[in-house]
Amino acid sequence: MRSSVRTRRIAVSAEDRERRRAGFTEHLTALVAESGAQSISAYVPLGNEPDVSGFLEWSRETGLRVLLPVSLPGHRIEWAVDTGARVEGRHGIAEPEGPRFGTEAAADLDLLIVPACAVDATGTRLGWGLGYYDRMLGSLRRRPPVYAVVDDEDVYPTLPRDAHDVPVTGAVTSTRILRFADLA
């Protein structure tokens, strides 16, 4: 499935990418407004991941506190505040410069926005196979609402769920916000 999602995302035209970028920005800003979030996590899109860069720009302009992930050995995540300054991190991913906060900093946020390969209607999130987000989510003493960002084509009726998989509260696509009821 990961391979087919990557292949499909690579084939998206530049015009469609820009249209989707605008849609992601619109729906992510709506989610933040609806939730009343003052502090969130997000991510810097890699390659053909859903482009949330417009949302990150909006967040900096409006003063929303955004923590971005910093990848550590052992498939762990720490956090740094998004100031717009980036350095190359592990796996070639652009990461924020600046002071770091431990994994547990995510527990004190109002909303977590995470990347995903796919999601299903029960909140199962399929990541990219390294387990960074499942480890982080599973370790939090308090878990804020978690929304995965995916293309509409990446929302499935069901996906396999392993014992270590942490379900998400909902998903944001370029056309809608989904909220999942079954989080068992």
CATH number at residue 159: 3.40.50.10420
Q: Tokens 């009343």 appear where?
A: 36
CA distance 73 to 5: 26
What are the DSSP calls for 77-94, one per residue? EEEEE--S-EEE-GGG-E
Q: What percent of the chain has pLDDT over 70?
A: 97
Total domains present in the chain? 1
pLDDT for res 183: 45
pLDDT for res 51: 95
CA distance 179 to 184: 14
Domain of 164?
Answer: 2-179
The verdict on residue 144 lying in a domain is: yes
CA distance 76 to 34: 30
Three-state secondary structure call for residue 27: helix
The verdict on residue 149 lying in a domain is: yes
CA distance 73 to 65: 26
The verdict on residue 106 lying in a domain is: yes
The verdict on residue 167 lying in a domain is: yes
Residues 6+ apart with CB under 8 A from 56: 42, 44, 66, 82, 84
pLDDT for res 2: 82
Identity of the residue numbered 182: D
61 token code pair: 């302009």
The model's pLDDT over 125-139, given as tens digits with 9 standing for 90+, comes to 998 767 899 999 999
The verdict on residue 184 lying in a domain is: no
**pTM of this prediction?**
0.93
**Arithmetic mean of pLDDT, 157-179:** 93
Residue 181 has pLDDT above 90, yes or no: no
Helices and strands counted in the chain (H then E) = 4, 13
The verdict on residue 45 lying in a domain is: yes
CA distance 42 to 27: 14
Mean pLDDT of the chain: 92
The verdict on residue 166 lying in a domain is: yes
The verdict on residue 38 lying in a domain is: yes
The model's pLDDT over 29-74, given as tens digits with 9 standing for 90+, comes to 999 999 999 999 999 998 789 999 999 999 999 999 999 999 998 8
pLDDT for res 131: 81
Three-state secondary structure call for residue 59: helix
